[in-house]
């Protein structure tokens, strides 16, 4: 699940950088040596206007991280619930047909 969510997380950063008029996306990578050197599994690089104060950049980055992590958690939970429903519907139905556990 992690190997799916990291690209989704970085892709959400990319989308947010495209939507935000002050950030300009530059590049995106995941599972590279550069990522591991920065203690991350993925990186999304962007640029912003020099005159923007660092506090504003940090605030926007924090909001982006919150949105990306929340979205990934929701996707993870939906996937888990979907798998549980599929397992319950098909596998346990087969077990009940052929006898008890």
Task: Give the predicted TM-score (pTM) of the model.
Answer: 0.65
9-53, pLDDT tens digit by residue? 777 877 877 777 777 777 777 777 877 777 777 777 777 777 878
pLDDT at site 3? 63
Round to whole Å and give the CA distance between 90 and 72: 27
HEC profile of 59-71: HHHHHHHHHHHHH
- Residue-range domain boundaries for the chain: 2-98
50-101, pLDDT tens digit by residue? 787 888 878 888 888 888 888 888 888 888 888 888 888 777 666 656 655 5
């Amino acid at each position: 699940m992690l190997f799916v969510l990291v690209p989704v997380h970085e892709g959400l950063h990319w989308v947010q950088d495209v939507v935000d008029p002050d950030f300009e996306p530059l590049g995106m990578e995941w599972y590279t040596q550069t990522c591991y050197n920065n203690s991350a599994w993925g990186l999304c690089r962007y640029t912003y206007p020099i005159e923007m104060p660092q506090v504003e950049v940090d605030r926007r980055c924090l909001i982006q991280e919150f949105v990306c992590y929340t979205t990934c958690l929701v996707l993870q939970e939906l996937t888990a619930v979907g798998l549980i429903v599929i397992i319950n519907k098909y596998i346990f139905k087969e077990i009940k047909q052929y006898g008890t556990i």
